[in-house]
Structure 1
Amino acid sequence: MRKWIPSDSRSFTILLGALAIILVMFIVIYPDQIFKSSLHGLTIWWTFVFPGLLPFLILSEIMIGLGLVHALGTLLEPVMKLVFRLPGASGWALAMGLTAGFPAGADVTGQLRREGVLNASEAQRLLAVSHLCSPVIMIAVVGVGFLQSPEAGFMIAVVHYLSALAMGITLRWTDSSGRTSVPSGSSTETAGRNHGWLRRTAGSLRSAHRKDGRTFGKLLGDSVTSAAQKLLGIGGYIILFSVLHRILVLALGPIVSAEPVNTLLSAFLEPHLGMYGMSRLSFPLLMTVAVIGAILGWSGLSLHAQARSLAGNNGIRYSRFILARLLHGAYAFILTVLLWKPLTATFGVVGTFAMTDTLVSPPNAAGSLLSDAGAFWTQGLKIWPLLAKLYVFVAGIFVLLICISLINRAYRKKTG
């Protein structure tokens, strides 16, 4: 007996049609509630997400056009081969996830799968590993905007990347499939044998910039346009899933209307809504940061849909992606609790938080959206040094992994 309804079957089409009719009925019956929920999503997007992400999305587009992200992908080749058991070309997807954030890694994963660089199992693991949150979202939007503390966002970002690494290693050892997709004479592997690692990095930067071919003025204009389009798409998802959340609350009633169930439901659907709602609850700081880390690891059904659409089917199973997201969220929660004191002591986070015992006041108290927006801009200058510190931390992890990879390669050559 089949457990899932095929997406191309008549039953699945009828099910989607019935769900669409139910949604329309709720919109007609509760127009005021639907309007308030869409306005809530729009306010979060316009107040925090849009101003926090726009300049950094523009910078990310410029970095891609100049070839810097491609060069970073080449630098990550040893890590991809040793740690994640993936071909070196997949470093580009991880680099996109580290810079642009999700779902950029899914786009590159789908492209590599269509080109035959990855088999289905490798594409599955790469999609899970490269599905990362942008450091700007974690520091600027979550830290400064939601929690009124960029240092809190820095802590969340550190744990997010560490838990992603733990999740990737777990998937690497639980997947027994071998390397079958790229023939021994492929261009990627041949280039790796014929040229040095650092020389290939410089070559990938030059070739990517030459292939792009745009002048800096043209690149800047296209970057602004592309960043604005991406932000409009993000805003559309936030508003849509804010409406879906309200419909579920209206349909299920008291079961999900009480906190913190209401916030967890919004986090299950859309991460921005869930993290914002979590920052409004009067929980201890450690618990709040740990839950927000878990929300980012899960990333919400809205981002799942985006990742699935960009990666395509191509043998990639959604059930494995769900497992990876659950692992990422669980690792993030556990690592936040375990590493709270050592990380805060190492990076000097304790004592610089805007709040000590609890975070932001409940929604009906004095901490309104306008005051949150003011805090966003007054603390915005702290973003840049924390971003630099975060990238140094991530670079240190990858340098350590690369050194282990090179030592392992030298040992294998010596032992024959």
Structure 2
Amino acid sequence: MGRLLSREGFREICAGVALLCCALALICWPKEISAAVRSGLGLCYNVIIPSLFPFFILSSLVISLGLAGYLGRLLEPVMRPLFHVSGSCAAALALGFIGGYPVGARSALTLYESGQCTKTEAERLLAFCNNSGPAFILGVVGAGIFADSRVGILLCVTHAAASVCVGLLFRFYHWRDRDSREPRPSPPIAAQRFTSAFTGAVKDSLASVLNICAFVVCFTVIIQLCFRSGILPALAELLGRLLAPLGFTQAWAERLLTGALELSSGVSTLSGDGSLAGKLSMAAFMLGWAGVSVHCQVLSFLGSSGLNIRTYIGGKLLHGVLSAGLTALLFRLFPLEEPVSAYLVQQVAGIAGTDFYTALTISTAAAWVVFLLFFLAAAMGLKKGRKTCGKGRRNMI
């Protein structure tokens, strides 16, 4: 079978058959596909564009203006012992936690392309810096899906803890490399002029956001096609039989497969029946894994960068498994079976109906706050560096 799949002609035939089936599906279910496209575009308009666009601009400015370099000199004693990466990588880690998918991956790639981290460090960083933002976990998943802010806090804590654990494990990735074991001297900080940095950040961020929206709409349609054609239910039935010893049913398998393809669609299926412990563990796995849609968005950024894709995929799979395990453990220690307050239940409709301008205002304000924090940290690092340099000159005299 492996030899057959390795033949180019066989792969072309399979691709042609798959495209023909997709074309037939579009003809058979035009209304359903149109509704899926409108749903995907609505998600992009109300959530993706206002939440990611400001943070894409922020991440580009932090690196182009040299703030990541100053911050790296300040945090080198922390990042190097813990994760075996340069201090500049702290910028990608922080932006990945705050901005959400795929801000962290894009920041890591920018650091690598600007020469502020090595290839090995960038691959380590990709394994654990691309995380879901707290706004999505607390607002959409916690209050919107489970109607309980405590659930959002629990998932946020386990998601962050699992990400740090993945980073600690991947510190041993290529640890025998010389650049991995020996700290490199800090490269000179090259900062662009604000005008050129700002205009370049806006243009690149717009292209990145449109690229992400294209994948979101595409995978919304793919999931609809898989359901309508019966492919997803058939795979769910097979997976349910394989995982029956673990208590999986076909319904749970459908949720898992949906979340494995697209995160937002997957977590939305968890509002149905089922034990709270099982739904929380599955939500944690989906958030850690992020979905094939997010992976395609990241791969579109990586392109011909030469970075190892398997490192990123392995890190996200490990992130999902660790998140699910930590969530199950904490749920046993802190059960959440108490009834939800009426106030939180009323917030679900409000969150679902958040308009574009409100989401954009919140995201832009958060991005500016983070930018000011980066600026203050960079100023502290520059001040500390000048003091150290001054002491060194005195000692030489």
Same fold (TM > 0.5): yes
- Structure-2 separation of matches of 1:18 and 1:212: 52
Task: Provide structure 1 residue ranges, at least 5 long, that are not aligned to the other structure.
Answer: 193-202, 361-366, 392-416
1:296 to 265, 287, 300: 287
Letter in 1 for 2:195: R
Aligned residues of 2:73 and 2:186 also touching (Cα < 8 A): no
Shift of 1:268: 0.9
Shift of 1:230: 5.3
- Structure-2 separation of matches of 1:340 and 1:32: 42
- TM-score by length of structure 1 reads 0.66
Assess, with a 3 A threshold, how the Cα gap between structure 1 residues 275 and 77 changes in structure 2: closer, same or farther.
farther
Shift of 1:160: 1.0
What's the secondary structure of 1:102's corresponding residue?
coil
Shift of 1:306: 1.8
What's the secondary structure of 2:123's corresponding residue?
helix
For residues 291-330 of structure 1, the aligned pairs below 5 Å read 291-330=282-321
- Structure-2 separation of matches of 1:113 and 1:291: 33
- Structure-1 separation of matches of 2:114 and 2:232: 48
Aligned residues of 1:110 and 1:312 also touching (Cα < 8 A): no
What's the secondary structure of 1:19's corresponding residue?
helix
Letter in 2 for 1:213: F
Match of 2:135 in 1: 136
1:373 equivalenced with 2:365 (yes/no): no
Shift of 1:244: 0.8
Aligned residues of 2:59 and 2:103 also touching (Cα < 8 A): no
1:238 to 216, 219, 233: 216
Match of 2:194 in 1: 213
- Structure-1 separation of matches of 2:94 and 2:4: 34
Letter in 1 for 2:219: F
- Structure-2 separation of matches of 1:115 and 1:183: 21
Shift of 1:10: 6.7
Aligned residues of 2:53 and 2:206 also touching (Cα < 8 A): yes
Letter in 2 for 1:124: E
Shift of 1:34: 1.7
Shift of 1:298: 0.5
Match of 1:31 in 2: 30
- Structure-2 separation of matches of 1:81 and 1:262: 42
Shift of 1:4: 11
- Structure-1 separation of matches of 2:114 and 2:59: 24
- Structure-2 separation of matches of 1:40 and 1:368: 21
Shift of 1:269: 0.9
Shift of 1:276: 1.8
Shift of 1:126: 1.6
Match of 1:338 in 2: 329
- Structure-2 separation of matches of 1:117 and 1:162: 26
Q: Which is further off, 36-45 or 65-74?
A: 65-74
Aligned residues of 1:5 and 1:12 also touching (Cα < 8 A): yes
Aligned residues of 1:53 and 1:137 also touching (Cα < 8 A): no
Match of 2:373 in 1: none
Shift of 1:27: 1.0
What's the secondary structure of 1:87's corresponding residue?
coil
What's the secondary structure of 1:316's corresponding residue?
coil
Letter in 2 for 1:96: L
What value does the CA root-mean-square deviation take over the aligned residues?
4.6
Q: Which is further off, 300-309 or 324-333?
A: 300-309
For residues 1-150 of structure 1, the aligned pairs below 5 Å read 15-46=14-45, 49=48, 71-114=70-113, 120-150=119-149
Deviations 1:26-62 (A, max 9, x none): 1122212322333343444455555666777777777
- Structure-2 separation of matches of 1:108 and 1:61: 7
Aligned residues of 1:241 and 1:302 also touching (Cα < 8 A): yes
- Structure-2 separation of matches of 1:43 and 1:182: 44
Assess, with a 3 A threshold, how the Cα gap between structure 1 residues 59 and 116 changes in structure 2: closer, same or farther.
closer
Assess, with a 3 A threshold, how the Cα gap between structure 1 residues 86 and 22 changes in structure 2: closer, same or farther.
same
Task: Provide structure 2 residue ranges, at least 5 long, that are not aligned to the other structure.
Answer: 238-249, 371-397
Assess, with a 3 A threshold, how the Cα gap between structure 1 residues 261 and 342 changes in structure 2: closer, same or farther.
closer
Deviations 1:228-270 (A, max 9, x none): 7655444332221111112222142642485233222221111
Letter in 1 for 2:298: A
1:270 to 262, 266, 273: 262
Letter in 2 for 1:338: L
Number of residue pairs aligned between Structure 1 and Structure 2? 350
Letter in 2 for 1:245: I
What's the secondary structure of 2:131's corresponding residue?
coil
Shift of 1:169: 1.5
Match of 1:164 in 2: 163
- Structure-2 separation of matches of 1:354 and 1:232: 39
- Structure-2 separation of matches of 1:189 and 1:158: 33
Aligned residues of 2:52 and 2:99 also touching (Cα < 8 A): no
